[in-house]
Amino acid sequence: MTNFSKCNVSFEGRVELHDKLSLTGAEVSFNVLPAGTSVPFVHAHKENEEIYIVLEGNGTAVIDNQSILLTKGDCLRISPSAKRQFFAGKESAITYICIQVKENSLTQFTMTDGIVE
């Protein structure tokens, strides 16, 4: 087995990377909601926080009944227990990345985890 995996994704609908890249510590998905549509359910998580990064368009996240406007460049972290649902704008699709990781699992990052050779 090699020390890396690579895939190419299209920006249509939802694409999850856990199987495509054999991820072991995070779930990453690319998502496109067409204008005027939404994720069809409200959900929360048991252990995973989610990080959303808006790449294009605009929309709204409803988190614990609070509406949060989203536009290109916005980054949003949501605690596992928060109830959430996402909506594209009426006139604009929204394209975003969602990263799921176990809450409080980050112990090192960037230079503290890196090994310079």
Q: Report the greatest alpha carbon distance in the chain.
A: 51
Q: In the chain, where are the structural domains located?
A: 18-103
Q: What is the pLDDT of residue 115?
A: 76
Does domain 18-103 fall under CATH 2.60.120.10? My reply is: yes
Does residue 1 register a pLDDT over 70? no
Non-local (6+) Cβ contacts of 41 within 8 A are 85
Asked if residues 82 and 63 have their Cβ atoms less than 8 Å apart, the reply is yes
Residue in the structure block whose two tokens are 């090192």: 108
What are the tens digits of pLDDT across the range 41-81? 999 999 999 999 999 999 999 999 999 999 999 999 999 99
Does residue 24 register a pLDDT over 80? yes
67 SS3 class: strand
Structure tokens at 53: 């990064």
Tally of helices (H runs) and strands (E runs) in the chain? 1, 7
What are the tens digits of pLDDT across the range 29-38? 999 999 999 9
